[in-house]
Amino acid sequence: MSPGLALQQAMGQQLLATPALTALLGGAHIYDEVPRGEQPLYVAFNGVETRDWSVMDQKAHEHFVFIEVVTNAKSRTLAQSIGDAIETALDNAALTLTGHRLINLRAVFWSVSRTKSSDNFGATLRFRAATEPL
């Protein structure tokens, strides 16, 4: 399994296992691919960028994982609360990856703003991770 996919799957499992987050979302509305017709309120992986981060004889990868929060709220409060819950669940988490070892995982950026298609607020989070093959 590719390191980026292994990382995303482990992050998704961690988010689904976070009661504070699923309570805010009203259920397990955390997706790799948003189901057709899904209405807000949900969290979706919006991309994984993977780069070679190898040194000398040690293979490694650096990843940037983008997570989108889509709400049905016309204020920042819900998007901000969901972003906080995601950061708490993932920042510096010790995740188990299939075929790879997670070196670190950190939140490096997030913003809350109105979505372009509605008056509702959403959030974008970006995490940086480093992995090595087992």
- How much is the pLDDT for 90? 98
Residue type, 20: A
pLDDT tens, 61-77? 999 999 999 999 999 99
CB 27 within 8 A of CB 43: no
* Domain coverage including residue 110: 3-63+71-133
Report the number of distinct structural domains present in the chain: 1
What's the pTM value of the predicted model, to 2 decimals? 0.94
Residues 76, 79: Cα–Cα separation, whole Å: 5
Running DSSP on this structure, what letter comes out for residue 78?
A: H
* Closest by CA position to 79, among listed 48, 124, 23, 119: 124
Give residue 61's pLDDT: 96
For every residue of 13-66, DSSP letters joined together read HHHHT-HHHHHHHTS--EESSPPTTPPSSEEEEEEEEEEE--BTTB--EEEEEE
| Beta strands 61-70 and 121-133, pairing class | antiparallel
Count CB-CB contacts under 10 A for residue 97. Answer: 21
Q: What CATH number has the domain bearing residue 11?
A: 3.30.2000.30
CA atoms within 13 A on the CB side of 80: 4
Token pair recorded at residue 16: 């689904």
**Mean pLDDT, each 10-residue run in order, the chain (134 residues):** 96 98 98 94 96 90 97 95 98 97 97 88 97 95
